[in-house]
A and B are shown apart, each in its own frame.
Chain A
Amino acid sequence: MIPELGHFSLIVALLLALTQAILPLIGAQRGNLTLMAVARPAAQGQFVFVTIAFACLAYSFLTNDFSVENVASNSFSQLPEIYRLTATWGSHEGSLLLWVVILGFWTTAVSVFSRHLPDDMVARVLGVMGLISVGFIAFLLTTSNPFDRLLPAAMDGRDMNPLLQDWGMIIHPPMLYMGYVGFAVAFAFAIAALLSGRLDAAWARWSRPWTTVAWAFLTFGIMLGSWWAYRELGWGGWWFWDPTENASFMPWLAGTALIHSLAVTEKRGAFKAWTVLLALVAFSLSLLGTFLVRSGVLSSVHAFATDPARGAFILGFLVIVIGGSLALYAWRAPKMLSGGSFTWFSREALLLGNNVVLLAALGSVLLGTLYPLLIDALGMGKISVGPPYFNAVFVPLMAPALFLMGIGPLARWKGDSLPGMVVRLKWALVISVATGILLPLTLNGFNPWATFGFAISVWILLTVLIGFRERLKHGGRMGTLPRAFWGMQLAHLGMAVGVAGITLVANYQEERDVRMNVGDHTELAGYTFTFLGTTEHKGPNYRAARGTVEVSKNGKKLFVMHPEKRIYNASGMPMTEAAIDPDFFRDVYVALGEPLDEEARSWAVRVFHKPFINWLWFGAVMMVVGGFLAASDRRYRIAVKAAARSGAVAQGV
C-alpha cells in the first residue's frame, strides 16, 4: 500500500511539474499575470509530492518491505537502521528520486526567496526548473520506477553494497546532489534572461548567491566522497581520477569559473555572454555526469546497474535540455552587449585569465574521461586513461590559476599598474619562492613538485594576508569588513591549506606492504608496528577478522589499531576496513590484505604514514564555509530590494 502511495505521489508530482513548466512560461511570454502566478503553488506542490514519494520509499526500506524490488536488491534485514535509511538512495532508482527531491527543494527555495524579483522572471525561472523536473520524474516513472513490486516477495534482501556502508556515505550523496542540482538555479536564471531578452547585469546579481551556495555544497560533497574513498577503499588514496569522480569534478571547475565570472558581470557588466555560457555549461556538466554514470558508456567502479534504455532516455533528455539551451544561447548571443571597458592588467583581465585556465583544465579532464569512449566509438581499440595522464596534464594547467588567485583579489577594477603590483607583492614572491626551494631541501632533498606546491601554497597565504592588510590600511576594521570579503579570503586560504596538504602527502608519504606473522614488527617513518594477530569479530551483518596492531615509537607504546577484513553475510563480499589514527600533522593507516596461510596467522599487511593528509579536508571545509559566508553577505539582500523597486517602476511604466 505504502509503495503504491509513493508511486501515485510521483505521478501527481509529474502532473504538477508539467503545470509548473508550461503555464508560467506561456504566461511570461504573453504577459499574463494569472498564468505566471501558477508557478509558485505548482512548484511547492510538486516538492510536497516528490517528498511524499521519497518518504514512502524510505518507509519501505526502514520496514524491510522485501516485496519492493528495490528494497530487496539493496537492503537486508540485518542491515543497521541508519544504513537502511541511506540505502534509500543507494541504488540507481533511489538516488534519482533523491535528485528529484533536491531539485524540488531548490525550486521551492527559489519560489520563497524571490518575492522581490519581477513576476515574469520568477515565472520563467520556476518554469525552466519545472521542465527539468518533468524530465527526471518521467525518467523515473518510465525506466527506473523505485516502487516496482517483486512478487512473490523475497525472503530477505541482497544487502546494500558493503562499500557504501560507511557514515561518510550517509551525507555524501545528498551534499553532492545539493551542489549538482543547485547549478540548475543558475541555469534557470540564465535561460530566463535569454528568453526575456533582458540580458543586463541584474540576472547575474540574482543568481550569484544561489550559485555560490550550490558551489559550496558541491565542494563539500566532493570532499566527503574523497574522504570516504580514503578511509574505505583500503588503498590510502584519496583521488583516483575515476570517471565518476571526474563527473563531479567537471561541474565544480565550471562552477568555480562561473562564480568568478558572475562577480565581473555583476560589478562591471562585462563578460555577459561568457557568464551566461558558463551557467549553461556548469549545469550541463552536472547532467552529463548523470548520463555518464548511469548509462554504462563508461565503466567505472561506481557504475549503477546499466541499461541501454536508460542511457537512451537520458541522452535524449540531454539533447533537449543542453542542445536547446545552447541553441537559445547562439540565437540570443548578439543581443548581449558587453559593458565596462578594462585594460589588460585589471581585476577583470585577471579573472578572465582565471576563467580561461579553469576551462582549459576542465577540457583536459573532459578529454581524459571521454577519450576511451571516443577511441572505442571510432573502432580504434580499447584503452583506458589513468592518473598519470591527469596528473601530468591537470596539475600544470591549474598552476597559473593558483598563481593568479594571489593577484586577482588585490588588483583594481578597470585598470591597475603592473609595476605597482610588483612592488606590493615582491616580498610575497620572494618568500614563497624561497620557501619552495628551501623547504624540500630540509626534508628529503630537491624535489621540483614539492617546490612548486609549497611555493604556490605560501604565495596564496601571503597574498591573502596582504589583502587583509590593505583593506585595513584603507580605513576598514576587522569587524566591518563585509562577509563577501571574509568568504573569499577564507576560501582562498582553504585552497592554500589544501595545496599544502596535497603537496606533503603526495611527495612525502611512506608505505610498506609486508607479510606479518603474529609477533612480527615492521618499521615505517619512525613508528614500529607490531602485529598481534587477528580475532573473530561478529558485526550486525558481517563477520570480520579483526587484527590488532600495536604502534610504538622509540620503544614507547603509543596506541593500538584494529584493521578489519570483513565478509558481508548477504553478498559474501569481502571488504577491507582500514584502521586510521588521525592527527593534525599525519595519519597512521593500517589495512589488512589477505590471510597468507590456512590458519590465518600470517597476513599481508599494508601500513602507511600520511603526513598532513587531513589538511586536504580542512582546506575543503574552509572553502565550503567561505562559500556560505560570501553568499550570506547583506548586500545581496539590499540589492534584491533595490532591484525590486526598479523592477516595480519598470513594470509600472
Chain B
Amino acid sequence: MKRWLPLVVFLVLVGFFAKGLFLNPREVPSPFIGKAAPAFTLPLVGNANASFSPADMKGKVWVLNVWAPWCVSCRQEHGVLMMLSSSQSVPIVGLNWKDKQREAEQLLAQHGSPYAAVPDDLTGKVGIDYGVTGTPETYLIDQAGIVRMKHVGPISPDVWKEKFEPKLKELGA
C-alpha cells in the first residue's frame, strides 16, 4: 500500500487547501473586540471647523469604516456602502486614513458619499489606535461604544449579509 501513500498525503493537503481558500489569512483577531472603541476627536473632511468623536454616537449602533482615496479595494466596496447607506439605518462613519494628497472631498463629491460623517485622520494616528493593518477595515460598535466586530478587507453584499446582519440583529439595531 506504500505506493498509494504520496496520493493520500496529497489529497489530505488538498482538503486543507480547499478549506484555506475560504479563510482570510489577513484577518487577525482584534484585541479590541469587546473593549471600548478608542476615543478620538478629528476634524471633518470638507468642514474643518466641525469635528467627530465616537462619543457623538453614544446610544447608537454604528459602523466605522476605515478607507482612503488611494486605496483600490475601497473603491470596490464604495458601491456596496452606497447601497447600504440607502437601504438600512445603521450609520456608517468613514475614517479618511492618511489622505496626504487631500483627494477625499473631491472623490466623495464626484461619486457620492455613503457616510454619515467623514473624520479626517491625516497623520494616521487614530488608525494606529484602532490597530488598522490596511484599508479597508470596518468596525461594528454598539450603543455603549464597545467594539463588537471587525472586518478586514472590502465589504461585499455577502459579507454584510453573513457577518454584519446577524450581529446587528443580536444588538437589536
Flag if B7 contacts A377 (CB, 8 Å): no
> Which residue of chain A has the shortest Cβ distance to B26 in the bound complex?
A299
9 nearest A-B residue pairs (beta carbon): A297-B20, A333-B3, A299-B25, A326-B7, A377-B19, A330-B3, A311-B21, A330-B4, A373-B20
**Which residues of chain B have C-beta atoms less than 8 A from A158's C-beta?**
72
Chain A's interface size range is: 35 or more
Q: Which of B11, B20, B100, B101 contacts A377 (CB 8 A)?
A: B20
Q: A308-B21, A330-B3 are in contact. List 11 more A-B contacts (CB 8 A).
A: A158-B72, A296-B21, A297-B25, A298-B20, A299-B25, A315-B18, A323-B10, A330-B4, A330-B6, A376-B20, A376-B23
Question: Does A322 touch B at the CB level, under 8 Å?
Answer: yes
Question: Does B17 touch A at the CB level, under 8 Å?
Answer: yes
Which residues of chain A from 363 to 392 have a CB within 8 Å of any chain B CB? 370, 372-374, 376-377, 382
Flag if A312 contacts B21 (CB, 8 Å): yes
Question: Does A281 touch B at the CB level, under 8 Å?
Answer: yes
> Which residue of chain A has the shortest Cβ distance to B3 in the bound complex?
A333
> Which residue of chain A has the shortest Cβ distance to B20 in the bound complex?
A297
**Which residues of chain B have C-beta atoms less than 8 A from A370's C-beta?**
13, 16
A-B contact pairs, 29 of them (CB 8 A): A273-B3, A277-B6, A281-B6, A295-B21, A297-B21, A298-B25, A308-B21, A311-B21, A312-B21, A315-B14, A318-B14, A323-B10, A326-B6, A326-B7, A326-B10, A329-B6, A330-B3, A330-B6, A333-B3, A334-B3, A373-B17, A373-B20, A374-B16, A376-B20, A377-B16, A377-B23, A382-B29, A571-B70, A572-B100
Complex CA distance for A373 and B28, rounded to whole angstroms: 13
A positions within 8 Å CB-CB of B = 158, 273, 277, 280-281, 284, 291, 295-299, 308, 311-312, 315, 318-319, 322-323, 326-327, 329-330, 333-334, 370, 372-374, 376-377, 382, 571-572
**Which residues of chain A have C-beta atoms less than 8 A from B19's C-beta?**
377
B positions within 8 Å CB-CB of A = 3-4, 6-7, 10-11, 13-14, 16-23, 25-26, 28-29, 70, 72, 100-101
Flag if B3 contacts A297 (CB, 8 Å): no
Complex CA distance for A382 and B10, rounded to whole angstroms: 23
Interface of B is mostly: helix
Flag if A323 contacts B11 (CB, 8 Å): yes
**Which residues of chain B have C-beta atoms less than 8 A from A373's C-beta?**
16-17, 20, 23, 25
Complex CA distance for A357 and B166, rounded to whole angstroms: 52
> Which residue of chain A has the shortest Cβ distance to B18 in the bound complex?
A315
Complex CA distance for A299 and B4, rounded to whole angstroms: 31
Question: Least Cβ distance of A507 to chain B in Å?
Answer: 33
Question: Least Cβ distance of A598 to chain B in Å?
Answer: 13
Complex CA distance for A298 and B20, rounded to whole angstroms: 8
**Which residues of chain B have C-beta atoms less than 8 A from A322's C-beta?**
10
> Which residue of chain B has the shortest Cβ distance to A570 in the bound complex?
B70
> Which residue of chain A has the shortest Cβ distance to B12 in the bound complex?
A374
